[in-house]
Amino acid sequence: MLSKQGKNLNITVLGLGYVGLSTALVLAYLGHQVTGLDIDSSKIEMLKRGTIPLFEPNLETLMSRVQERVVWSSDNHISIPHADFIFLCVQTPVLEGGQSDLTFVEQVVSAIALNLQGRTQIMVNKSTVPVGTGKRIKSLLERKAGRTLADRCQVVANPEFLSEGSALIDSLYPHRMVLGGEIEVLRKMLELYAPIIQQTFEPLDFVVCPSGYTQPEVIETTLESAEMTKYAANAFLALKISYANEMANLCEHVGADILDVMAGVGADRRIGPHFLAAGAGWGGSCLGKDTRALVKLAEVYDCPLPIISAAIAVNYQQRIKVVELLERHLKDLKGKRVALLGLSFKPHTDDLRDSPAHDFIADITNRGGRVIAHDPVAMKRANTEWNHLDYLSANSVEEALQDADACIIATDWPEYVALDWDRVVTSMKSPILIDARNIIRRRLKSPIILEQIGRKVLGEANYPQVKP
């Protein structure tokens, strides 16, 4: 079934979000015949026209290079029965109470069960799922397809660690690969991933290998440990961010600068410099969802996770703090015009899920203010997904800042980092900047009020009198 070179296998990818699309295109690039399935037919139509239905750097370019090896469809029958590998990449949203919603996983497993024909197949789960789901997938298959057919379909847990905005770099140059399952089936996974593990694939001219990168560490383990690794990794990233924010809040009181403090802390190799940027805290579809799901999972076993629970609380408190900083300077937000720069939860994506900007808009309007928002790529998506929020859209940073009483920088887009802030603040009614991502790194010449998170070093000398 498998060629040693990892070529010419039939691969089906179910669920075409960031993870599914990246997986499908990278496997096609490695030479396999890939079918990408999704129940959303509008997404499939877009893909067939050569358009990626989300904003992710370079995915569209890769798609144009591999199109002869990829088929997009909503019809499970066309590929599942012939697939050597079936990748599950569906979303696992969070339920009201914080638990993972496995409806989509169950739906695709049922669809797979209906299409099993006795061929030896490997089902690779990349969706983030509570520990124990791999085993449950196996029993669901048995229930739906019968033991004989289900026994030919082996289950592997292969959590995905890519970040939005760098999906292709993370897929081609991953730091680690975690593979959970029976030893024999893991060997087949190692063959499939050999070009990436050994870094023998032809590099793409538009995806730059991170400097110093050599090859991924491969961790072979059980289904449960692989599933647990995904949650534990995201929880640790969340902890680092909340830790940095907690330290930042104390820095403000004691007159220390969080940037210098975290540079000093992160220079210790045991800690590392990443994910120590204080600011508005984490957003996105993963860290918030996965930390809550982990806490819920632990409750089932009566095993509280106080550190993770505290990290969650610190994160969402940080959003309130940003609006309170604004209010401290404006005194009363009623009728005030607030420019909001950045809607996406982080740069290089138009993903708005759990974005701090969402809560800023809601909080500011609740307090009587008016928001005029700008984002380099996420405005279109916000206009459809944030219908419930009340804000105006600006076509440029300049338009957002014109006559604004204050500005919040919510996302660290490179465009905002590179702005000539001395120039752009001149059109504001009162130059109050709440830099919730600490992107302004040099003292501005203009008289402004600058608030940053965990640092007072740039603002103090420049404080003008705010007109009532």
Q: Which residues bind ligand UGA (CB under 6 A)?
A: 128, 160-164, 234, 237, 241, 275-277, 279, 281-284, 286-287, 345-346
> To the nearest 10°, the Cα dihedral for 162, 166, 168, 170?
-40
CB closer to ligand UGA out of 134 and 165: 165
Write down the least CB distance from residue 32 to ligand UGA, Å: 23
26-45 burial, b for 16+ CB within 10 Å, e for fewer? bbbbbbbbbbbbbbeeebbe
C-alpha count within 13 angstroms, C-beta hemisphere, residue 374? 21
Write down the least CB distance from residue 287 to ligand UGA, Å: 5
Tokens of 334: 């009623």
Write down the least CB distance from residue 244 to ligand UGA, Å: 6
Amino acid at 268: D
Q: Any idea what DSSP says for residue 82?
A: G
Question: What is the C-alpha separation between 444 and 244, in angstroms, rounded?
Answer: 25
Question: What is the C-alpha separation between 322 and 424, in angstroms, rounded?
Answer: 21
Residue with tokens 């289950």: 155
Give 334: exposed, middle or buried? Use CB within 10 Å, 0-12, 13-18, 19+.
exposed
CB closer to ligand UGA out of 23 and 128: 128
CB closer to ligand UGA out of 77 and 175: 175
CB closer to ligand UGA out of 22 and 76: 22
Residue with tokens 């029993």: 139
Distances from the Cα of 400 to the Cα of 67, 76, 285, 397, angstroms: 40, 46, 27, 5
**Residue 286 catalytic?**
yes
Write down the least CB distance from residue 411 to ligand UGA, Å: 7
CB closer to ligand UGA out of 83 and 238: 238
C-beta atoms surrounding 71 within 10 Å: 20
CB closer to ligand UGA out of 279 and 369: 279
CB closer to ligand UGA out of 20 and 284: 284
Distances from the Cα of 282 to the Cα of 39, 346, 434, angstroms: 30, 9, 17
Catalytic residue among 153, 251, 286, 407: 286
Phi, psi for 184 (deg, rounded to 5): -65, -40
Question: What is the C-alpha separation between 344 and 377, in angstroms, rounded?
Answer: 8
Looking at the annotation, which residues are catalytic? 286
